[in-house]
Amino acid sequence: MTRAELVEKLCFKFPALQLKDIDVAVRTILDGITNTLAQGGRVEVRGFGSFALNYKPARKGRNPKTGITVMVPAKYSPHFKAGLELHERVDYQKS
């Protein structure tokens, strides 16, 4: 599901709200998650899951085209861990 599809689905579920207002709300939530992660924080949505950063240390890599060894710098990568309730709902839907 894309952000636009989420906005559209919410618009159908809550017809009293305007599309523009729903779009602003969704953007604000996603921007909040993004900004918190960019500052090194962690975001937890109870029943859904948590967003955190994983540290990947510097390592040696290889350019597949030339075969030359290059150093890949250390970096942080966003990571999502699904909550128990989400796991259970997905597992129940698939059974």
Q: Do 25 and 50 sit in the same domain of this protein?
A: no
pLDDT tens per residue, range 75-89: 999 999 999 999 999
CA 12 from chain centre, in angstroms, equals 24
Q: Do 56 and 90 sit in the same domain of this protein?
A: yes
Q: What's the whole-model pTM score?
A: 0.79
Q: Mean pLDDT over all residues of the chain? A: 94
Structural domain tally of the chain? Answer: 2
SS (H, E, C) the chain: CCHHHHHHHHHHHCCCCCHHHHHHHHHHHHHHHHHHHHCCCCEEECCCEEEEEEEECCEEEECCCCCCEEEECCEEEEEEEECHHHHHHHHHHHC
Q: Do 53 and 27 sit in the same domain of this protein?
A: no
Structural domain boundaries enclosing 94: 41-95
Q: Do 60 and 74 sit in the same domain of this protein?
A: yes
Q: Which two tokens stand for residue 79?
A: 């990571």
Q: Do 45 and 79 sit in the same domain of this protein?
A: yes
